[in-house]
Structures are given as C-alpha cells and as structure tokens.
Structure 1
Amino acid sequence: MSKNYLLGFDVGSSSIKASLLDADSGKLIESVSSPDQEMKIESPVIGWAEQDPDGWWSHVVIATKKILSKLVEKNFDIIAIGISYQMHGLVLVDKHLKVLRPSIIWCDSRAVEIGNKAFNELSPEYCLGSCLNSPGNFTASKLAWVKENQPEIYSKIYKFMLPGDYIALKLTGEVSTTISGLSEGVFWDFNTNDLSQKVLDYFGFDKNLVPDIVPTFSVQGKLTKSAAEELGIRSGVPVTYRAGDQPNNALSLKVLKPGDVAATAGTSGVIYGVTDKNLIDSLSRVNTFAHVNYSTTNPNKGVLLCINGTGILYSWIKQTILESKYSYNELNSFAEKVEIGADGLLCIPFGNGAERVLGNKDVKCQFSGINFNVHGKGHLIRAAQEGIAFSFRYGLDVMKSMGMNINVVKAGNTNLFQSKIFQTAFVNSCNTELELYNTDGSQGAARGAGIGVGFYKSEDEAFDGLKMIDRVTISEKLVNDYNKLYQQWKSKLNLIVKE
C-alpha cells in the first residue's frame, strides 16, 4: 500500500523551501531548500527591490527534484500541493502568460507616495473602514506605479497576480487568486465582502486584470503534464492551498482562532495575531488582512506587524562584515559571550526599505555608541539581535493599543528564533512567553494542502504531527533590564525618525 504524501512549497525572497509530509501521521518526511546561497534581490534604483518570477519557478523545480532524490520510500503518492509565498509582490503576465517585467517585491519602496496620495484622496475613512489598510506600498500601489511609469508594459497586461498566484499558474496553467491575497494587496472591501470597486476606479484599473478568485482551501487546479515532467512527479496532482507567508506561518503553528499569535524572524520579522474584529491602526503602522480561514460566517483576520530589517540584517553582518567566515551558529556563540546591552552598543535595524511601523519612513540601519577599544564582532551581533527584539516590542505596543491581548507568541524553531540570545531578548523585551514548534512555512503549506484536498476531517487532525519543542518564559529581572535598554533605544529611534 502506497504512502500518502503532501508537498508544500514556501516561495520566499531568499530561497524556495519544499517539504514532504506523511499525510496519515502528519510527520515530516523530508525538507530541502534551493538555492544553497540566498537568492539575489535586484535594486537598480535605491529603494527598489525586484526578482525574476521564473527564477522562483526554477528553484521550485530544483527543490522538488532534490527532495525526491532524498527519499528512501519509493512507494508513495503525492496527493496534494500547497503554496506559501512572499506577500505584497506584483507579478504581471501578458495574454500568453509570459512575465512582462521583474516582480516588484514586498520590500520595494517606490510606490509609497502613490499609496499615501491614494489614502488621502480615497479618504482615510474609506481605506481604514472598508479595506482596513492604507494602500501604502502594497500591490495596488505597485500596479499603479507601473501604470504611471511604464505604460508600454501596463498596456500588455493580461492579469496581475501575487507571487504565489504565479507559482500556481506554473503548476496548473490556470490564473487565479484568493480573497486573502487580494486583501493583502488592498483590493478587498470588507464591508461589501467583494473587490473594492472604489480602489479599482481610483487607480483606473480594469476589473478584467484581476484573476478569478478561488477559495484558499480548495482544488485550485491540477498539475499539468509539462509541469509534472519538470518536477518529476505525476500529472494531475491537485493544488489545494495557497496563502501569503505570514498567514501561512500562522497556519503552520495552528494559529487560527481569535487571540492566537504567531511570529517569524526570517528576512523580515512579523508578529501576526488573529482577531474576528475589524481592528485598525489609524496611522497604518500595522495592517489587517483576511486570514486563511476568513469567510463571511467566520470573519477571522490577521493583524500583521512587519519589520523589514530583521534576518536580512543578520545575513548582512554575516556576509558583508564577517565575509561569510562563520556560520550562524558561530555568530550566536559570539553574541552569547557579551553581556546584555552589548556594552553600550545600540542597533536601529531598519535598513531594508520603508518601514510600515515607522509610517513608511526609510530611516536606514544605524549602530550607535561604537567604542573601538571595547566593541568586537560579538558586540555587533548581540546589539543587532537586541535591536531586532526592540523593534518587535515597538510594534507590539502598537498592536496592544489597537486592542490585541498578547500573552503567548508561537514561532517555528527557525531563523533568529534558534538563537538563545534572541529568544531571551524577545521574551523579556516584549513581556510575553514564547512557544517554539517543529515546523516552518513549507510544512504549513503541506498541511494546508491536506485540509484543502479534504484528507483531514478537521483542523485538529491536520496538526497531529505538530509538537512544541521549547517554551521560553519571562524573567522579572530581565524584563526590567531590557525595559531600561528599550527606553534608551526608543529615544534614539525617535530622534532619527524626527530628522
């Protein structure tokens, strides 16, 4: 009897990760990523960030072949495929379904002014009351930038889509999107529960440019013969789940009910809390989107805090300052030898484009208080980790002011959350417990596929294989110590923001 496997892809900006799960036990069979080094983000102009969508697809193919080559079990059937993807990106295709230009990805800042103008002209009341967000530098604003600045490309557009929609297209040959995806692009009106005609009319977008909408958990198409040949698996496998990386990260941690909270600290850092209320921040420093299980009868939404400059800062230190001479584990060891506060060295970690939590200001990354006679690489690394933790605290305070009650945060045991220094700084800066689980985005996508194909009879059944591996609790003394440091850090940040 063949084994039933679920295949999940996590299409990030640094790599493509693939995981195979045993559908019956929920246990991970194998997980791989491609490329071995991080994918390049092109920045032809300061503040821009672009990637080639076909580059993502190439690494989906490589990752799939890599994972199949590692399997010992040969008697198996992949019964469904799920997709997680980097949010807010813009992919444009022509009538032949060919990509028209590089994708404008999540950390690109070029459309900020377009979004700010739209926020005022559509009216803050409409944007926040109906779309729950300012257009900011999200997908709608990026599409408007192309319309204004590259009309020859805009005129050839057949459909716009998000990064995960494009991977689904490559798998199935079908063009579609989801309500969750449209809401993250600020195309969705939560009051009418439909496409925002006001947003379309304001920007002058033809409704025909919007892909057909499919449910997040559903048969969204089946693997074509040509895609199957590229991947090395059978044709006809259904694609049954698709979600942005942060809603999907929440799903991977079983963060599905109001009050549940998830976190991640990859290239960017995110806190994602579920609510069934229309919570908004009047300054749009955090955002509210449809969650993976959103419906008219189950109006669950995710309140999302994003910090662009988290893991990318750590990667920059590793590659640029330390010239890739050390592993991330070695970097963490260096940081552990330095006392809390890094002997007066402070890091403002915002160096990856405009930061929503700072009102879409691009304040850059800064280290302050460097003493050449005191500070070494361990201090630099520790200050970076503490600065990232403080940026989470800064955003969490905004979320709490909106009415979010955050006592426990769940995260996968990946990226910065593998660092004991970062765990301690996060928990005691944010005054919240941290639960770490044996999962990641590609595993979440695989579980989502199992739900979407109907293999699991309930959400609980889908998470039988999910295990908590550690709990990090608060220390009253460290809370006080980190709070003093945070106040110094916040004062420094406030001065920079006012410049």
Structure 2
Amino acid sequence: MYIGIDIGTSEVKALLLGPDQCVVGSAGVALTVSRPHPGHSEQDPADWWGATQAALASLQAAHPGEYAATQAIGLSGQMHGAVLLDAQDRVLRPAILWNDTRSAAECSEMMHELAALSDLGGSLAMPGFTAPKLRWVARHEPEVFRRVAKVLLPKDYVRLMLTGEHASDMSDASGTLWLDVRRRDWSDPLLALTGLSRRHMPRLVEGSEVSGRLRAEVAQSLGLRPGTVVAGGAGDNAASAVGMGAVQPGQGFLSLGTSGVLFVVTPTYQPNAASATHAFCHAVPGRWHQMSVMLAAASALQWVAKLLGTPHVADVAARAAALDAAGREAAPLFLPYLSGERTPHNDAGVRGSFHGLDFDTDAARLGYAVMEGVSFGLRDGLAALNAAGSEVTRLSLVGGGARSAFWAQMLASALDVEIVTHGGSAVGGALGAARLGALSAGAPMASTCLPPPVDTVYQPDPGESVLLAPRYALFRSLYRRP
C-alpha cells in the first residue's frame, strides 16, 4: 500500500493506493488563505501539518488494515510558496503563496540584473515564483531575512515534519527560480540575485527517489511503521502528470479548470521563456516538461453564465452546442484575458473583451464565443510549446471543462490533436504522489505509471477546423501589446 499526500491551496488531500494501482480511499481537509494586504496571499505552515495529520487519521479510520500496511509515502503540493525557517527549523513568518503578487518590482530587477536568468531557470521572473519573494522579504522585512537558515516549499515543510529532512525534488525546485533546470542543480548566479547560497537550500532528489524515512515518534502518532519510505514527490502539475501516466516524451495533459494548463513531457530541457512558457524538470529522472498557462479557462465560462443569469454552466454550454454553423460563424470573438494573461503574452494588465457584438447576439452565441476564445488561448499556448520543439499528438483532458463533450471536440479541432477524457477515474496530485511513493519503494515504472482508462476519444473534425481557422486568425490580430 502507498499513501499520496497533496498539499493544495484550498485542501490537503490524502490518498491510499493499492499495489494493483487501484485507489482504496481518500480524505481531504480544508485550508484557508490569509490576505492581509491587497495582492498578498499567505498560509500558516502549521495548518498544512495539522490538516495532513487529520486527513491521515480519516484514512486510517476508514481503512485500518490497508493503512497499516503502507510501504511508502509520496508528497505533492502547491508550487512556489516560500516557507522561511531559522536555524532551529522554526517558521519565521507565514508562507508567501504562489498567487501572491507583491514582488513584481523585484522580478523586473532580477531580469535586468541577470540576462541569463530565463535560460538558467526555464522561465521569465514572475511574482508567483519563490526567488522574487525572498528578494521582497530582504527589502521589506530585513530582520526576518537575516534569520533565514532554510527556505522550503510547502510540501517540503510537511516532509520536514515527517522525516526531519530538508529535501526537495527537481520538479518543485524548478518553480523556485533558483534551479539550473538543464543541470538539475541549484544555480549559484540565481541564488546570488536574492542574497542566498546553497546552504539555504534543501538537498535535491528525484521525485521517485527516497528522500527520508518516517521518524519513530511521528510514525507512532500516525499509526504507521517507523522508517516508512518518503519519496521525493513532485510539484502539483508534475504529480498530476504522473497520476495520468504522462512520463514519456510527447505525452501530456490539458487541464481545463479555473486556469488552463498545457503540460507536455520532453526528453531534454526545451525552454521558450520569450513566450512565457515554463520549462521545468519532470518528477522522474531524465525527463523535463514544458508548460503553458492561461489564467482564465473554465472560470471564464462560469463568469459568462453568471453574467447571463444562468444558474448552471452546463446550460450555457448546451445552448452553445445547439448552434448551427451559421450561428457559430456569427458569434462574437472573445479575448479570455479576464485577469491578465501569462502564455504567450505575459501581460498582467490586459483584460478580456467581446468583438463583433450585434443585435442578433444572444446567450448561445456569447457562450460559444467564450468557449471558443478559451480554446484559441490554449492554441496559442500549444503553439508556444511547439516553437520550443515540443511534439504532441494526444492530450488527456481533465478539470471541470472536461465534462462538456462539445468543448472537448472543439479543443480537438482547434488544437489539431486527439483529445481523450477519463470519466470518473481518479487523477490528480495525490494519486501521482502515491505512485512516486511506490517507485521509491521499488515498484517498476512501466506497471506503475499507467494512464487511467480512456472514457471518450475526440479527433479533430475537418469541417469544424475549416470554420475555426479564419476566426482564430482574427482572434490573433485583436491582441495589442501596450
């Protein structure tokens, strides 16, 4: 048996995985986010540990026999968060999270001071990353910065509680902007930008390697065996990829949730920072991945449903799906930049807009325009990945948007790739973390990192592709960089 623990932003989830790769059970405990000032987003690391203990207790209560037979634990978590510890491993301040935007000025300074930053780190400097946060702390909270002995990521703080080890994996470390992603090692020039050195960093391991073992006193309190293996684990997106069996070059997934993420496995380091993509290490050795991110995806459809006074998003999608070809061609175009955009524009100030509204525009056409605009934004992201050398012919579709067959078909035609959905199969960071735990305990990758069963396959439709092509060209022409 294997346990996967996912330290999310809104929830800590624990999952129990059997040796046959079947999920035995799962449990979740909610978290809250503190926003003490505009643009700030923080959590208390003690809350992650408390929620982890509670989630594991729920698993134990529901499945006592299987739980007690756990051989290994894997960790997944929200990326980029900054946990600052003193020399006695005491938390110095609340953790600054991935969605905190206070360090925009520091990002600009870092890009100016080190021209090689994006080549080393695989991405432009963005406020979400860990390194700019520490530069902000050094400037605004110098008394805290002087006491920093170690900087850990969220899941790695939980590892510290479990094992007493300061360690991180390659995929999560890629999101700090301190890692030389090509070499899979800390970068002295990147660390120097924030006044830190290797002594402030945790030890690096691969996600499928052993990072430590469960401390005796912790094992007793959790009802697990002392010395239980704890794997390196992964950042949330890389862990989700492992959970979906995306570990070989060309495999990937499209997450159509609040945001839109395209994740593609690559055999080498293939950055394209100029188009605001991320090139990170994967959670398994000898693999990297490319990732494009758009900030509003399924959330844009939720927004327009609310705007139209429609209680259910599915109703808007159904109206859009009922349009004939003429109705779709007459629909307005939608730029989905409701909260700015990352890939490919890296423009925090741009905002969404409808183009081509007329008296015939109705709820169906507005809904269609939003779904199409998000699809075009994802096509932009795929083009940025392709420009860096990525090749993909099939993507697993996950997230809330995957429930719409109409949208899945549109994505297949817009992106010109095969789209597959997986029904109610368990996917996500906790499953990937459990699989990485299994790998660290000696399970073979070929039989562990299998894709979930395919529910439906969507092939590009030539007729729809012909309809979309001129609309995509016009969509591309509407964005104007300030």
Query: Secondary structure at the residue paired with 2:111?
Result: helix
Whether the 8 Å CA contact 1:27–1:465 is kept in 2: the answer is no
Contact 1:26 1:465 in 2 (8 A): no
Assess, with a 3 A threshold, how the Cα gap between structure 1 residues 83 and 334 changes in structure 2: closer, same or farther: farther
Q: Which amino acid aligns with 1:201?
A: A
Which residue number corresponds to residue 448 of structure 1?
436
Q: Which residue of 1 aligns with 2:381?
A: 395
**Is 1:422 the equivalent of 2:407?**
yes
User: Corresponding residue for 1:7?
Assistant: 3
Residue equivalent to 1:488: 474
% identity of equivalent residues: 25
Whether the 8 Å contact between 1:355 and 1:362 is mirrored in structure 2 is no
Q: 2:297 maps to which residue?
A: 310
Take 2:223 and 2:365, find their aligned partners in 1: how far apart are those partners? 47
Q: CA deviation at 1:89?
A: 2.2
Residues 255-298 of structure 1: CA deviation (Å, up to 9, x unaligned): 2222222222333321122223332225151121111123xxx3
Rounded to whole Å, the distance in 2 between the matches of 1:283 and 1:57 is: 38
Letter in structure 1 aligned against 2:18: D
- Tell me the residue number matched to 1:92: 84
Seen in structure 2, the aligned counterparts of structure 1 residues 453 and 325 have a Cα distance that, compared at 3 Å, is same
Q: Indicate the residue corresponding to 1:29 in structure 2.
A: 24
Q: 1:460, CA displacement in angstroms?
A: 1.0
2:53 alignment partner in structure 1: 61
Aligned CA distance change for structure 1 residues 220 and 73 (closer, same or farther; 3 Å)? same
Determine if contact 1:253/1:411 at 8 Å carries over to the other structure: no
Q: Which of 159, 183, 201 pairs up with 1:210?
A: 201
Paired residue secondary structure (1:9):
strand
Residues 406 and 432 of structure 1 are in contact (CA less than 8 Å); yes or no, is this contact kept in structure 2?
A: yes
Deviations 1:349-406 (A, max 9, x none): 3344662531243324445566798544x66555443332221111111111222222
Match of 1:256, SS state, is coil
Change (3 A) 1:108 1:322: farther
Q: Contact 1:107–1:352 (CA<8 Å) still a contact in 2?
A: no
User: Structure 2 counterpart of 1:27, which letter?
Assistant: C
Q: CA deviation at 1:305?
A: 0.9
Q: Which residue of 2 aligns with 1:473?
A: 459
Alpha-carbon contact 1:350-1:362 (below 8 Å) kept: no
The aligned length equals 476
Q: Which residue of structure 1 lines up, in the alignment, with residue 144 of structure 2?
A: 153
Listed one character per residue, the Cα deviations across residues 390-448 of structure 1 (whole Å, up to 9, x for unaligned) are 21111111111222222211344x43222223212221111111123434122121111
Task: Quote the residue 1:274 is aligned against.
Answer: 265
Alignment TM-score, normalising by the size of structure 2: 0.86
For residues 410 and 217 of structure 2, the distance between their equivalents in structure 1, rounded to whole angstroms, comes to: 49
> Structure 1 CA distance, aligned partners of 2:201 and 2:67?
41
Please give the alpha-carbon distance, in whole angstroms, between the structure 1 residues aligned to 2:112 and 2:359.
47
State the superposition RMSD in angstroms.
Answer: 3.2
Task: Return closer, same or farther for 1:361/1:465 CA change in 2, 3 Å cut-off.
Answer: closer
Greater CA drift, 158-167 or 7-16: 7-16
SS of equivalent residue, structure 1 residue 445: helix
The amino acid that maps onto 2:143 is E
- The structural deviation recorded for 1:451 is 0.5
- The answer on whether the counterparts of 2:181 and 2:280 sit within 8 Å (CA) in structure 1 is no
Asked if 1:136 corresponds to 2:126, the answer is yes
One-letter amino acid of the structure 2 residue matched with residue 301 of structure 1: W
CA distance in 2 between partners of 1:11 and 1:150 (Å):
26
Aligned partners of 1:62, 1:334: CA distance in 2, in Å?
43
> Post-superposition shift, 1:58?
3.8
The one-letter amino acid paired with 2:336 is P
CA distance in 1, matches of 2:396, 2:56: 28
Per the alignment, do residues 226 and 479 of structure 1 end up closer, same or farther by CA in structure 2, a change over 3 Å counting? farther
Q: Say which of 120, 127, 136 aligns to 2:117.
A: 127
Q: Which residue of 2 aligns with 1:79?
A: 71
2:12 maps to what in 1? 16
- Unpaired runs of 5+ residues, structure 2, are none
Shift, 1:162, TM fit:
1.4
Query: What letter is aligned with 1:303?
Result: Q
> Partner of 1:221: helix, strand, or coil?
strand
TM-score, normalized by length of structure 1?
0.84
Q: Which has the larger displacement, 328-337 or 91-100?
A: 328-337
Q: Is the 8 A contact 1:184 1:290 kept in 2?
A: no
Distance 2:109 2:421 in 1: 41
> Is 1:107–1:308's contact at 8 Å kept on the other side of the alignment?
no
1:196 to partner: Cα distance? 0.9
- Does the Cα contact within 8 Å between 1:108 and 1:353 map onto a contact in 2? no
Go from structure 1 to structure 2 and tell me whether the alpha carbon gap of 1:157 and 1:213 turns closer, same or farther (over 3 Å shift).
Answer: same
Moved more, 56-65 or 419-428: 56-65
Q: Which residue of 2 aligns with 1:109?
A: 101
Residues 164-209 of structure 1, C-alpha deviations (whole Å, 9 max, x = no match): 2122223333322123332221212256653211112232214322
Q: Distance in 2 between matches of 1:99 and 1:317?
A: 42
* CA distance in 1: counterparts of 2:329 and 2:356, whole angstroms: 10
Contact map agreement 2:245 2:450 (CA 8 A) in 1: no
1:357 aligned to which of 333, 336, 344 = 344
Unaligned residue ranges in structure 1 (runs of 5+): none
Q: Distance in 1 between matches of 2:248 and 2:318?
A: 37
Q: Match of 2:264, as an amino acid?
A: G
The worse-fitting range, judged by mean Cα deviation, of 51-60 and 67-76 is: 67-76
Match for residue 178 of structure 2 among 182, 187, 193: 187
Equivalent pair of 1:14/1:267 in contact (CA under 8 Å): no
Task: Label 1:262 to 1:191 Cα distance change in 2 as closer, same or farther (>3 A).
Answer: closer
Q: How many angstroms does 1:230 deviate by?
A: 6.3
* CA 267–226 in structure 1, closer or farther in 2 if over 3 Å, else same: farther
C-alpha distance 338-119 of structure 1, shift in aligned 2 (>3 A): same
Contact 1:385 1:421 in 2 (8 A): no
Q: Quick one: structure 1 residues 191 and 224, their matched pair in 2 at CA, closer, same or farther if it must change by over 3 Å?
A: closer
**Aligned to 2:421, what secondary structure does the other structure show?**
strand
Partner of 1:162: 153
1:247, distance to aligned residue in structure 2 (A):
1.6
1:356–1:166 distance in 2 versus 1, CA, 3 Å: farther
Give the superposition deviation at 1:59: 3.5
1:432 paired to 2:420: no
